[in-house]
Structure 1
């Protein structure tokens, strides 16, 4: 792994919301590790980006019944844009200088202006953290790699309700498209 250029890097935190963190066994530990790298990224003047999943009433009614992930949300209030469970966890809430994108699909790029935002700032490297490894993280890794971003997945800053799936993705699926590192390695790389 080569050094991280803060001017060309974004730290992307995905789906750190009450509803998506609820099934994570060690959510407090995850949030603590993310907080450490977030502080280091902010100190190094790395762009910090938050991604959240939420639906307006119009978006909810437009969900296709064929969409196995989101169709069950059509008739519930879960992840309604203004609902408590769709809000960021207090330990991951955006600061005023940090950018927020709201999506209504799994990956961070789909249904957002994230790509334009990053390219407009000449960012070509992404540090990824968040939940679920088998959902938002997987979709974003694949999409970012296809868009020719340098992708760095912070393995201990991501989590999934299924630990075996998390490990398989980190060890077998992500490495051909991304560098997979831990928070300590990332802290060393961002400190210059």
Structure 2
């Protein structure tokens, strides 16, 4: 039930993903950014020398820096360790007890440390919207688009994009600022979002949209 050991793979590019059904374009005046589950416990599955994780981390760092400069709200999700078993719910059946309440598990990795003004949400389920006030915080800031970066693409990132769509929030999955268990699952997540709930977008394209609207 533990997380797998994840080997490096070539990140998909925009050309590898099916064209989205939705016509939406990133708009910095409407957007919030979510950095999803980039905690040491989850990142450790990639190993200390993972070039995949290094690339994804660089891309997330670039997007967060641009978002802060443009006044785009930056949200993080972070689970708590030593979760009460009934509170952890069905996730324990699939993934075991999860992380412990220690810094080596709970901390967001150093290159992506939240900055003053960022908002860290306690993560309870796959979707960042579950048992959180993310939707209310976005609404209060006049935001109805959500760019999603982080891990894992086919689990929490996909679930968050799906729920965003169902809440009439336009989701943008940042293709090369997400990582997954393998290339197949990564592409599956991007293709599903493209077909059913949102718009996959490359880091460079999102940075250009932020710079153009800032």
**TM-score for both structures, normalised by structure 2:** 0.79
Q: What is the match of residue 73 of structure 2?
A: 47
Q: What is the match of residue 128 of structure 1?
A: 148
Deviation at 1:139, TM superposition (A): 0.7
Question: Does the 8 Å contact 1:10/1:47 carry over to 2?
Answer: yes
Q: What is the match of residue 27 of structure 2?
A: 5
Give, in whole Å, the separation in 1 of the partners of 2:156 and 2:176. Answer: 15
1:19 corresponds to 2:41: yes
Q: What is the match of residue 13 of structure 2?
A: none
Q: Which has the higher contact order (CA 8 A, sep 6+)?
A: 2
Q: Which of 87, 95, 108 is residue 62 of structure 1 equivalent to?
A: 87
Give, in whole Å, the separation in 2 of the partners of 1:62 and 1:46. Answer: 32
Deviation at 1:80, TM superposition (A): 3.2
Give, in whole Å, the separation in 2 of the partners of 1:146 and 1:4. Answer: 18
- Secondary structure of the equivalent of 2:71? coil
Q: How does 1:154-173 map to 2 (within 5 A)?
A: 154-170=174-190, 172-173=191-192
Deviation at 1:117, TM superposition (A): 0.8
Q: What is the match of residue 33 of structure 1?
A: 59
Unaligned runs of 5+ in 2: 1-22
Aligned length: 185
Moved over 6 A (4+): none
Give, in whole Å, the separation in 1 of the partners of 2:100 and 2:145. Answer: 31
172-181 vs 22-31, which deviates more?
A: 22-31
Deviation at 1:82, TM superposition (A): 4.2
Deviation at 1:3, TM superposition (A): 4.6
Q: What is the match of residue 179 of structure 1?
A: 199
Give, in whole Å, the separation in 2 of the partners of 1:122 and 1:144. Answer: 15
**TM-score for both structures, normalised by structure 1:** 0.88
Unaligned runs of 5+ in 1: none
Distance 1:66 1:14, change over 3 A: closer
Root mean square deviation of aligned Cα: 1.9
Give, in whole Å, the separation in 2 of the partners of 1:154 and 1:3. Answer: 13
